[in-house]
């Protein structure tokens, strides 16, 4: 509808510098047809992709995952033109769109597929399977490039990683959570009984946060770790509980982790989780200790593996002064 061409911020800066430096700047469009060049790495995180850190509840890492959301071909409503402009009288059954609204249906479809395969899994178990099997590596086996900066991205940008529709079908372990876990979470973030009633319904008994076992928002049994250090809080311990949903009932999982820069000490206890036919649910603790505050934070991952399944959780560590810094 408007005769313009979209360019990235990086290319825009090049164009702007050229316009400012040339005495008679010129531009032209070249229609070159199909051009085959060396393929760039994929996937990459779009410049418009929603990202953290989580300024509302920093102890919960956001985003959870990333999914395809650029130039997605999908069915289109006949009520509006493809440009969504009121003056656009064109009508089409399909359209190419970009945005988080395109990534969301991909993840919704994966969740629906998992629900069909595992009808008794909770929403938290389904989310866990999608998150712990996501990948943070592109097709060159390097961490995703963030197109907003051109630099390597971190968990505050891609969460657990790009969804994997195959690996999620057999996650090995899941981090499950029920209603009571989320009621504790609501209490931890300051909700009162009136606010909580909007989620659980007025017919349920009022929730009294004073009688609940509380820690901090990060104690929710979430498939990721987000740690916030302050001047007075230098050590943070999170407990996590995992459920063995793999076909291998008698199996031993071993933990490993990495974090960069090495400004945080990480201790996991226990280092091994032994599951049997009778023991399908086990817990562990992770203790993070601040060594040297780093303005841009520290990032890494924690991996439980039995040689067949790799159950990965991203780690994001922030210091109070770096929560709103440019990440």
Residue 75 CB contacts under 8 Å (≥ 6 apart), including other chains: 93, 94
Q: Give the tens place of pLDDT for each residue, 260-319.
A: 888 899 999 999 999 999 999 999 999 999 998 888 889 999 999 999 999 999 999 998
pLDDT of amino acid 325? 39
pLDDT of amino acid 40? 87
Model confidence at 118, pLDDT cuts 50, 70, 90, reads very high
Mean pLDDT of 107-125: 94
Instruction: Inform me whether the pLDDT recorded for 327 exceeds 70.
Output: no
Nearest to 133 by CA among 323, 312, 319, 316: 312
pLDDT of amino acid 64? 94
Mean pLDDT of 191-215: 79
Q: Quick one: tokens of 125?
A: 């178990």
pLDDT of amino acid 269? 95
The answer to which of 151-160, 201-210, 214-223, 261-270 has the lowest mean pLDDT is 201-210
User: What is the percentage of the chain residues whose pLDDT exceeds 90?
Assistant: 58
Model confidence at 194, pLDDT cuts 50, 70, 90, reads confident
Instruction: Inform me whether the pLDDT recorded for 323 exceeds 80.
Output: no
Model confidence at 132, pLDDT cuts 50, 70, 90, reads very high
pLDDT of amino acid 326? 39
Q: Quick one: tokens of 111?
A: 């969740």
pLDDT of amino acid 295? 85
Q: Is the peptide bond before 270 cis (omega within 30 degrees of 0)?
A: yes
Q: Give the tens place of pLDDT for each residue, 208-219.
A: 887 776 678 888
Q: Give the tens place of pLDDT for each residue, 10-36.
A: 899 999 999 999 999 998 888 888 988
């Amino acid at each position: 509808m408007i005769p313009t061409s979209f360019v990235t911020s990086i290319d825009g800066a090049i164009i702007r510098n050229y316009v400012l430096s040339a005495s008679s700047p010129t531009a032209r469009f070249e229609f070159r047809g199909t051009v085959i060049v060396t393929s760039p790495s994929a996937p990459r995180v779009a410049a418009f992709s929603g990202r953290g850190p989580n300024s509302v509840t920093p102890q919960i890492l956001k985003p959870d995952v990333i999914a395809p959301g650029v130039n997605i071909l999908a069915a289109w409503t006949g009520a509006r033109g493809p440009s969504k402009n009121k003056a656009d009288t064109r009508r089409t059954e399909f359209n190419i769109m970009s945005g988080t609204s395109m990534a969301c249906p991909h993840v919704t479809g994966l969740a629906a597929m998992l629900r069909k395969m595992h009808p008794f899994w909770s929403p938290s178990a389904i989310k866990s399977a999608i998150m712990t099997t996501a990948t943070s590596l592109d097709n060159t086996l390097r961490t995703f490039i963030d197109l907003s900066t051109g630099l390597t991205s971190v968990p505050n940008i891609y969460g657990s990683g790009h969804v994997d529709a195959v690996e999620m079908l057999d996650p090995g372990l899941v981090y499950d959570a029920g209603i009571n876990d989320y009621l504790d979470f609501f209490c931890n973030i300051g909700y009162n009984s009136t606010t909580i009633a909007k989620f659980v319904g007025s017919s349920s008994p009022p929730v009294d946060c004073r009688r609940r076992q509380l820690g901090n928002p990060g104690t929710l049994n979430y498939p990721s770790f987000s740690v916030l250090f302050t001047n007075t809080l230098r050590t943070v311990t999170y407990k996590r509980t995992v459920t063995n949903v793999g076909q291998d009932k008698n199996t031993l999982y071993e933990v490993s982790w990495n974090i960069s820069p090495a400004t945080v000490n990480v201790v996991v206890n226990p280092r091994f989780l032994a599951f049997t036919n009778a023991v399908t649910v086990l817990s562990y603790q992770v203790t993070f200790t601040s060594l040297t505050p780093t303005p841009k934070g520290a990032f890494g991952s924690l991996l439980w593996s039995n040689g067949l399944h790799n159950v990965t959780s991203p780690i994001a560590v922030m210091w109070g002064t770096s929560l709103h810094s440019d990440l």
